Amino acid sequence: MLPNRSRLSVLVFLLPPLLLYGVAVLFPILQSLFLSFFSWNGISDMEFVGLANYVHMLTGDGVFWRSFFNALGYLAICLVLQLGGALFVASLLTSLRRGAGIIKTLYLLPAVISTVAIAFLFVRIYSIDPVGLLNQVLGWIGLGGLERPWLSDVNTVLAAVSAPEGWRFTGLYMLIIYAALLAVPQELEEAARLDGANQWQMFTKIRFPYIRPVWITTTIMATTYGLRGFDIPYLMTNGGPGQSSELLTTYMYKTAFTSTDFGYASTISVFIVVECLVAVGFILLMLKRKADA
């Protein structure tokens, strides 16, 4: 604590940020919770309905459950691409003597580009008429039978809208994991090598345990970002065809701003928050237990 500080000075520095944060973040959270107990279209009077929105969401709304499972699938694909891809590339990169800087920059490029641009780009990549990059590549390598309109096929659309999000941020997580891998003490690796550890053992016994704290952070980041994914599916397919690429976030958005059902939309957004908190708790629990074992 600063010797000459006064209570007033603390308030002077703390109040403005708290005010902005309260208006933009804290108050809306409470307001969502409040609205979720009402039925309201924004124009007529608000009607208190108690838990009816929650009951309807959990027991009577097929679209909700469809969106929930889609969101889990979306998350799974994002995690594999982002964390798996990042860990793989970062490990490879540590064996590189030169050029790591350039590769880091190139790899991070997609993260700088707006989601709207990425959505456009991938709509073209997936298209079949005119033939897009993906179908062209499949034709080339003799898998022409797999060519299809990826975004209008109900079986592939979810994967097709998840991949761009995964692709976009792999570089970011790679960067973080790479930095952590570089911090693994040389002596540890040296000692393991003298003991005859192979590359795989080196990775599982030395490097990975050492970067575990960073791994937990990145897993939490990737999971919460995956659960709030919105722009790319919304722009590429708007949840379609049918509900086959509808996520909880896009469903919530449509409920609020297309059907103007603010109460029910708030119920869904409360669910999204709970889902994020549960996911974070779950990850912490799982990875902590593993570390203790």
Partner 1 sequence: MTAQTAPVTRPVPAPPSSPAPRRRRRKPNVFRSLSRTLIVLIVVVQVYPLAWLFLTSLRNEHDFATGDPFALPSSISFDNYARAFQTGNLGQNILNSFIVTMGANLLIVLLGMMAAYALQVLGFRFSKFVRGLFLIGIIVPVQIALVPLFIDYSSVNLLDTYQSMIIPLAGFALPMSIYLFSSFFEYIPRETYEAASLDGAGPYRIFGLITLPLSTNTVVTVVLVNSIFIWNDFIFANTFVLSEGLKTIPLGLQNYIGAMGKVDWTATFAAVCITITPLLLVFLVLNKAMIQGLESGATKG
Measured CA to CA in angstroms, residue 233 lies from 120, 199, 229, 230 at distances of: 11, 39, 8, 6
Residue number, 80 or 133, with CB nearest to partner 1 = 133
CA angle centred on 173, ends 280 and 290, rounded to 5°: 45
Residue 149 CA to chain centroid, in angstroms? Answer: 25
Candidates 55-63, 85-93, 144-152, 236-244: pick the segment binding partner 1 (CB under 8 A).
Answer: 85-93
Residue number, 22 or 293, with CB nearest to partner 1 = 22
111 binds partner 1 (CB under 8 A): yes
Tell which positions 5-64 bind partner 1, by CB under 8 A: 5-7, 9-10, 12-14, 16-18, 20-21, 23-29, 31-32, 35, 42
221 binds partner 1 (CB under 8 A): yes
Candidates 64-72, 146-154, 155-163, 256-264: pick the segment binding partner 1 (CB under 8 A).
Answer: 256-264
- Residue among 38, 64, 126, 253 that touches partner 1 (CB under 8 A): 253
Interacting residues of 131 by C-beta distance below 8 A, sequence separation 6+: 139, 147
Residue 2 structure tokens? 């600063």
Between CA 106 and CA 102 the distance in angstroms is 6
Residue number, 20 or 51, with CB nearest to partner 1 = 20
Tell which positions 267-286 bind partner 1, by CB under 8 A: 269-270, 272-273, 276-277, 280
Between CA 270 and CA 281 the distance in angstroms is 17
